[in-house]
Structure 1
Amino acid sequence: MSSPKSLLVQGYEVVIGFETHAQLATQSKIFSRASTAFGAEPNTQACAVDMALPGTLPVMNREAVAHAIRLGLALGSHIAEESVFARKNYFYPDLPKGYQISQFEIPVVQGGEVSFLLGEEKKTVRLVRAHLEEDAGKSLHEDFIGQSGIDLNRAGTPLLEIVTEPDMRSTAEAVAYAKELHKIVTWIGVCDGNMQEGSFRCDANVSVRKPGAPLGTRREIKNLNSFKFMQQAMDYEIRWQIEQIEDGFEIQQATVLFDPDTGETRAMRTKEDAADYRYFPDPDLPPLVVSREWVEQVRTEMPELPRQMAQRFVDTYGLPEYDASTLTQSPAMAAYFETAAKASGQAKMASNWVMGEVSRRLNAEEKGVEQAPVGADLLAALLKRIADGTVSNNAAKQVMEALWSGDGADVDAVIEAKGLKQMNDSGAVVKIIDDVLAANAEMVEQFKAGKEKAFNALVGLCMKASKGKANPQQVNDLLREKLN
Structure 2
Amino acid sequence: MSTTLIRGFEVVIGLETHVQLSTASKIFSGASTHFGAAPNTQACAVDLALPGTLPVMNKGAVDRAIALGLAVGAIVAPRSIFARKNYFYPDLPKGYQISQYEIPVVQGGSVSFFVGEQAHTVRLTRAHLEEDAGKSLHEDFAGFNGEKSSGIDLNRAGTPLLEVVTEPDMRSSPEAVAYARALHTLVVWLGICDGNMQEGSFRCDANVSVRRPGAALGTRREIKNLNSFKFLQQAIDVEIQWQIDQIEDGLPIQQATVLFNPDANGGRGETRAMRTKEDAHDYRYFPDPDLPPLVIAPEWIERVKATMPELPGVMAARFEKDYGLPAYDATMMTQSRAFAEFFENATKVSGAPKLVSNWLMGEVSRRLNAGEQGIESSPVDATLLGALVKRISDGTLPNNAARQVFEALWTGEQAGVAEALARVDAIIEAKDLKPMADTGELEKILDDILAANAKSVEEFRAGKEKAFNALVGQAMKATKGKANPATVNELLKKKLAG
Q: Is the pair's TM-score, using the shorter chain for normalization, greater than 0.5?
A: yes
Residue in structure 2 matched with residue 30 of structure 1 by the alignment:
27
Distance 1:51 1:394 in 2: 64
Residue in structure 1 matched with residue 187 of structure 2 by the alignment:
185
Distance 2:351 2:242 in 1: 53
The one of 169, 172, 178 aligned to 2:171: 169
Query: Given that residues 82 and 291 in structure 2 are in contact (C-alpha distance below 8 angstroms), is that contact kept between their aligned partners in structure 1?
Result: yes
Q: CA deviation at 1:305?
A: 1.2
Residue in structure 1 matched with residue 429 of structure 2 by the alignment:
416
More deviation in 183-192 or 142-151? 142-151
Distance 2:436 2:14 in 1: 58
Distance 1:269 1:131 in 2: 24
Distance 1:401 1:424 in 2: 24
Distance 1:442 1:224 in 2: 61
The one of 105, 110, 114 aligned to 2:102: 105
> Which amino acid in 2 is paired with 1:380?
G
Residue in structure 2 matched with residue 427 of structure 1 by the alignment:
440
Report Cα offsets for 1:286-315 as digits up to 9, x if no partner. Answer: 111111001011111111111121122222
Q: 1:50 to 1:89 in 2, by over 3 A?
A: same
Matches within 5 A, 1:188-267: 188-262=190-264, 263-267=269-273
Residue in structure 1 matched with residue 360 of structure 2 by the alignment:
354
Query: Given that residues 231 and 262 in structure 2 are in contact (C-alpha distance below 8 angstroms), is that contact kept between their aligned partners in structure 1?
Result: yes
Q: CA deviation at 1:79?
A: 0.6
SS of the residue corresponding to residue 419 of structure 1 reads coil
Query: Given that residues 379 and 413 in structure 2 are in contact (C-alpha distance below 8 angstroms), is that contact kept between their aligned partners in structure 1?
Result: no
Unaligned runs of at least 5 residues, structure 1: none
Is 1:68 aligned to residue 68 of structure 2? no
Q: CA deviation at 1:254?
A: 0.7
Distance 2:474 2:182 in 1: 47
Residue in structure 2 matched with residue 392 of structure 1 by the alignment:
398
Superposition RMSD in Å: 1.6
Residue in structure 1 matched with residue 18 of structure 2 by the alignment:
21
Report Cα offsets for 1:35-66 as digits up to 9, x if no partner. Answer: 11111111111111111122211111111110
Q: 1:407 to 1:203 in 2, by over 3 A?
A: closer
SS of the residue corresponding to residue 51 of structure 1 reads coil
Distance 1:407 1:299 in 2: 40
Residue in structure 2 matched with residue 442 of structure 1 by the alignment:
455
The one of 286, 297, 303 aligned to 2:303: 297
Matches within 5 A, 1:14-163: 14-142=11-139, 145-163=147-165
SS of the residue corresponding to residue 237 of structure 1 reads helix
> Which amino acid in 1 is paired with 2:233?
Q
Distance 2:225 2:194 in 1: 17
Report Cα offsets for 1:98-135 as digits up to 9, x if no partner. Answer: 11111111111111111112233322211111000000
Residue in structure 2 matched with residue 274 of structure 1 by the alignment:
280
SS of the residue corresponding to residue 9 of structure 1 reads coil
SS of the residue corresponding to residue 305 of structure 2 reads helix
Residue in structure 1 matched with residue 417 of structure 2 by the alignment:
none
SS of the residue corresponding to residue 105 of structure 1 reads coil
Q: CA deviation at 1:75?
A: 0.7
Residue in structure 2 matched with residue 475 of structure 1 by the alignment:
488
The one of 401, 406, 421 aligned to 2:407: 401
More deviation in 147-156 or 404-413? 404-413
Q: How many residues align?
A: 481
Distance 1:477 1:106 in 2: 69
SS of the residue corresponding to residue 85 of structure 2 reads strand
Matches within 5 A, 1:318-357: 318-357=324-363
Q: CA deviation at 1:193?
A: 1.2
Distance 1:457 1:241 in 2: 52
Distance 1:414 1:305 in 2: 39
Residue in structure 2 matched with residue 314 of structure 1 by the alignment:
320
Q: CA deviation at 1:443?
A: 2.9
Q: CA deviation at 1:168?
A: 1.4
Query: Given that residues 15 and 205 in structure 2 are in contact (C-alpha distance below 8 angstroms), is that contact kept between their aligned partners in structure 1?
Result: yes
Unaligned runs of at least 5 residues, structure 2: 415-419
SS of the residue corresponding to residue 383 of structure 2 reads helix
Q: CA deviation at 1:146?
A: 4.2
SS of the residue corresponding to residue 406 of structure 2 reads helix
SS of the residue corresponding to residue 138 of structure 2 reads strand
Q: CA deviation at 1:407?
A: 7.4
Query: Given that residues 9 and 211 in structure 2 are in contact (C-alpha distance below 8 angstroms), is that contact kept between their aligned partners in structure 1?
Result: yes
Is 1:454 aligned to residue 467 of structure 2? yes
More deviation in 241-250 or 145-154? 241-250
- What's the % identity of the aligned pairs? 73
Q: CA deviation at 1:363?
A: 2.0
> Which amino acid in 1 is paired with 2:459?
Q
Query: Given that residues 4 and 171 in structure 2 are in contact (C-alpha distance below 8 angstroms), is that contact kept between their aligned partners in structure 1?
Result: yes
> Which amino acid in 2 is paired with 1:466?
T
